[in-house]
Amino acid sequence: MIENTLTAEEVGAALEAMQRLRTELIAAQGQASSEQLSGSIVPPAGGAVKVRGCWMTDYEAAPHNQHFMHITEADPAIFSYLTHPRLIAMAEELVGGPVRLEEAEAAVNRRDPAHPVPGAVPGFHAGGYAEMDSFQRHGLTHCSFVKTLTNLTPLGPEDGGTAVIPGVSTRTGTRIATTI
């Protein structure tokens, strides 16, 4: 983990953009729901309501956990974050060469205060297989799959936010480097 990778201003701009996008998507979903109920519109393909090319999971179904898809072009501050030279340089160091942005998503994940934190560990995205998706050069391990996670607000143990488990791969015994 690398703390304070972005300045307070950069974090603030990204957070404000995400909050604005979330507000607009909630409003668009509400408008679409009321129009669907009245029969005046047909839901878009897949039921997704888009704002500037971005869509998110149904707010009514999961108000404490929204997943945003295709955020790249939704706001200039989000694009600035995704193309930040420091984040790209770190990704290039891990990959061992030039990188390409494959996807950009975001999540607003707050623990529902009405439900206690479950005792079970949630499912984790483990990435690729070390034997196939990485290589050694000059004493460094480089990975073909890199994910950059940034917490835009402080997280505590009771928040239910992103969980990162640094450690050793159970498949290969290879040390896992985690960057947030």
Q: Tell me how far apart the alpha carbons of residues 22 and 19 are, in angstroms, rounded to a whole number.
A: 5
pTM for the complete prediction?
A: 0.71
Cα separation, 134 vs 62, whole angstroms: 36
The b/e string for 96-109 (b: 16+ C-beta within 10 A; e otherwise) is beebeeeebebebe
- CB-side exposure of 176: number of CA atoms within 13 Å? 20
pLDDT confidence of residue 14: 93
Averaging pLDDT over each range in 15-29, 46-60, 115-129, 146-160, which range is the top one? 15-29
pLDDT digits (tens, 9 = 90+) for 63-115: 777 888 899 999 999 999 999 999 999 889 888 889 988 889 888 776 666 76
- Checking if the pLDDT of 168 tops 50, the result is no
Burial 140-160 (b: 16+ CB within 10 A, else e): eebbeebebebebeeeeeeeb
Domain ranges for the chain:
8-176
Task: Give pLDDT, residue 80.
Answer: 95
Residue 135 pLDDT greater than 90, yes or no? no
